[in-house]
Amino acid sequence: MGERILMKGNEVIAEAALRAGCRHYFGYPITPQTEVAHYMAKKMEQLGGTFVQAESELAAINMVYGAASAGVRAMTSSSSPGISLKQEGISYSAGSELPMVIIDIVRCGPGLGGILPAQCDYFQMVKGGGHGDYRLPVLAPCSVQEMYELVVEAFNIADKYRNPVVVMGDGYLGQMMEAVTFRDEEPIYKADKSGWAACGSKMERPHHTITSIYIEADVLEAHNQKLQKKYAEIKANETRVEEFNCEGADIIVTAYGTISRIVKNVIKDAEKEGIKVGLIRPITLWPFPSESYAKYADKVKSFLCVEMSSGQMIEDVKLAVNGRNEVKFYGRTGGNVPSQNEILEQVRAIAAAK
Amino acid sequence: MMHEIILAGFGGQGILSMGKFIAMAGLEEGKNISWLPSYGPEMRGGTANCNVIVADEEVGSPIVNKATAIIVMNQPSLEKFEHYLVPGGVVILDSSLVPVMPKRDDVEVYAIPATKMAYDLGNATFAGIILLGKLLEVTGVVTRESFEKALYKILPQKKHGMIPEEMAALEKGAKY
Amino acid sequence: MAIVFQKPHALTDKPFHYCPGCTHGLIHRLVAEVLDELGIEGTTVGVASVGCTYNSYEYFNCDMVQAAHGRAPAVATGLRRSLPDRQVFTYQGDGDLAAIGTAEIVHAATRGEKITTIFVNNAIYGMTSGQMAPTTLVGQVTTTTPFGRKPELHGYPIRVCEMLSTLEGAAFVERVAVNNVVNVKKAKAAIKKAFKVQMAGKGFSIVEVLSICPTNWGMNPQKSLEWLEQNMMEHYPLGNFKGKDLEV
């Protein structure tokens, strides 16, 4: 383990990608994630890697598509409106089974919205966004240290399953500085891409094709079934969650990213008032850690889902709880963040009811 | 102990850097730290603020909910952040720029004409450092030694020659 | 027994699906012959686009990547930047390159990406059944200009080579046609030079091939070739726009 270094979340994303062996970055400027590109522009030139400031978000994701086709570790980063533009390329990448990492530092919407932090991209990242029946693992860090670890992990998951992987953080995570400790050596999953990468046949093998088009119904259905099988595997192997203080809790609050940390403060406040609160923090938003909710569904008085949105993750929470308990919601939008006091008020109200 | 500090003022006063110095000094001391800036267009000519937490325990929310201290370098910032203070919390304000004092009477107020003092020292950019001197003095959030180390780590090499003067300014703030 | 004619190695055995009289098959063959002659099939990655040639990956024997509509130059950029010792080409139609993918082609060219673009201009959308293309001529009837392309309603056709040749990153720009034997030979020579320019690291290269679409033009192949000569060549003059004297 190295020393603790003070770094900004966005810079840590870039550093983590470099440590994971990514030498190909393609992006387009958008607040609040531009520091990723700044860092990459400098480092890639020094390391002899590729940094391209693309003409558009569409071009950037398609450059990643090209680089991933060639078999190298590649990534792009953007923020909400930029991710909307990338969705076409993301769907194609999922269809063509290309490993890549996509960073979304979420800002508030809809439309041009604002640049302040938000979690309103849950639907577009977790539920699709692009066309077709596909799934993307979505990793949701809550600290700068975790951003580092999950970006490295994202490359591994991408390579292991030949699938695009998303790391999604709210604007605060990108902008804040915290201490980060880097490992001396990264745990890198070494994928053998020689069986499919389009990198030149050297006339030694049949030619490789990277494609997402299958005109015949049965062929495309078989392709879809293959994808679904892969998604089931990811679900079985890659679901990640933090359960904090949940045993014996009266109320379970669920939140991800920055909000989960505010909830931890609320837990301390509530404890002083004799209210036992637990936290379920999904680290993977897809696959969603449904079992954690099911486990406590009959044990707690109520669930409270807190988001920087009008209520998106709550749909998955409700599916997980499956009608066995009530799931209340508290959210703020527009770049406002649910405050510790506001969440505590919600907790008090639930505790006082009945 | 958890120090939850809000620093606020106009864009261009070095508010974000002041926060970084504290965070880096905290890191030097092996503390848990977070630095959260306001970001975006509001920084340009508008108000800038940042939240810094320095703690022995794990930092929960990086967003300061109950401030143990605030440093304010303009009037709107005082009005905006005064009510974040816990009872007994510390307000350090630049009285050259903040004419109207806090409304609260349950907090400790240190009014320092930092901008004027900085001009007298011949460097207007020292205003923030002067205020930080008082913060270190009254809260003990970090030691002066760690603070000095933080300056060396954060400032570019070409500005290292200035650090003794910055430390002298810090001292002036502490003793005011 | 002497072999006097055979399929290029860089083409697969898969029969073309193109309409009778379509010149895509011929242009595929020219590209494949060039790959054979330069001995680069094993080091080349092609990018198929969206349109009639969406599945050209089934016909070329080199590694192929299928791209989203218009995005082939961006995909090629990603490929080429990760494969510095390989060759990359895109094969795009007029809708793909000059409408939905205008930004991608312009910026790949201006960045001087070391890729080669084969741009097939037949002045119409083929696969989606004959709509106006960005290169559709004034007066030309298509399914979306049923009374002919009118500048006041539909604007003017884009001259891609003229536009791209203004960019410093574009090293080689040439327009050819496949309407007769002489021009087919010139087309092949241009394609070969374009690949050589890429291999020499000189920058972006593009060959625009004036082509026919008998099905959607509503003419037989013979008439189509005459229409190409009489109408398209007037608006889209053949010739080299850049890089003619480039030593490669």
CATH number (domain holding residue B58): 3.40.920.10
* Residue A329: strand pairing partners: A305
Q: What is the pLDDT of residues A304-354, one digit of tens each?
A: 999 999 999 999 999 999 999 999 999 999 999 999 999 999 999 999 996
pTM: 0.96
Contact indicator for A115, A33 with CB cutoff of 8 Å? no
Q: Is A81 helix (H, G, I), strand (E, B) or coil?
A: helix
**Residue A201 phi/psi, 5° resolution?**
-80, -15
Specify the pairing of strand B32-37 against strand A177-181. antiparallel
Cα-Cα-Cα-Cα dihedral of B92, B97, B98, B100, to 10°? Answer: 150
Cross-chain Cβ contact A62/C78 below 8 Å: yes
For residue A172, which residues of chain B lie inside 8 Å, CB to CB? 36, 62-63
From the list A116, A179, A262, which residue is nearest B63 (CB)? A262
Domain containing B93 equals 2-97+105-175
Could you tell me if residue C9 is inside a domain? Answer: no
Could you tell me if residue C11 is inside a domain? Answer: no
For residue C103, which residues of chain A lie inside 8 Å, CB to CB? 55-56, 58-59
Specify the pairing of strand C87-93 against strand C116-121. parallel
Residue C68: give its domain's CATH number: 3.40.50.970
How many residue pairs from chains A and C have C-beta atoms closer than 8 A? 140
- How far apart are the C-alpha atoms of A288 and A122, rounded to whole Å? 12
Which residue of A lies nearest to B17 if distances are taken between CA atoms? A177
- How far apart are the C-alpha atoms of A202 and C62, rounded to whole Å? 9
List the structure tokens of A10. Answer: 């966005």
Could you tell me if residue C131 is inside a domain? Answer: yes
Specify the pairing of strand C204-210 against strand C170-177. parallel
Cross-chain Cβ contact C71/A72 below 8 Å: no
What is the DSSP secondary-structure string of B84-121? Answer: GEEEEEEEEEETTT--SPPS-SSSEEEEE-HHHHHHHT
Q: What is the pLDDT of residue B46?
A: 67
Q: What is the pLDDT of residue A1?
A: 59
- How far apart are the C-alpha atoms of A192 and C244, rounded to whole Å? 43
For the segment A294-301, the average pLDDT, to the nearest whole number, is: 97
Domain containing C104 equals 24-242
- How far apart are the C-alpha atoms of C213 and C208, rounded to whole Å? 15
Going along chain A from its start, the domains and CATH numbers come out as: 4-238 (3.40.50.970), 242-352 (3.40.50.920)
* Count of domains forming chain B: 1
Cross-chain Cβ contact A32/B59 below 8 Å: no
Q: What is the pLDDT of residue B38?
A: 87
Min CA distance, A199 vs chain C (Å)?
Answer: 7
Q: What is the pLDDT of residues B43-52, one digit of tens each?
A: 455 679 999 9
Nearest residue to C35 (alpha-carbon basis) of C14, C63, C16: C63
Could you tell me if residue C15 is inside a domain? Answer: no
Taking CA A124 as the corner, what is the angle to CA A138 and CA A210, rounded to the nearest 5 degrees? 70
Other beta carbons within 10 Å of A62: 33
Cross-chain Cβ contact B39/A32 below 8 Å: yes
The tens-digit pLDDT sequence of chain C (248 residues) is 889 999 999 999 999 999 999 999 999 999 999 999 999 999 999 999 999 999 999 999 999 999 999 999 999 999 999 999 999 999 999 999 999 999 999 999 999 999 999 999 999 999 999 999 999 999 999 999 999 999 999 999 999 999 999 999 999 999 999 999 999 999 999 999 999 999 999 999 999 999 999 999 999 999 999 999 999 999 999 999 999 999 98
Give CA A286 to chain center in angstroms.
Answer: 8
Q: What is the pLDDT of residue A353?
A: 92
List the structure tokens of B152. Answer: 């060396």
Cross-chain Cβ contact B41/A115 below 8 Å: yes
Contact indicator for A290, A299 with CB cutoff of 8 Å? no
Contact indicator for B98, B68 with CB cutoff of 8 Å? no
Mutate which of C71, C111, C117, C127 to test chain A, going by most A C-beta atoms within 10 A?
C71
Could you tell me if residue C65 is inside a domain? Answer: yes
- How far apart are the C-alpha atoms of C178 and C185, rounded to whole Å? 8
Q: What is the pLDDT of residue B41?
A: 52
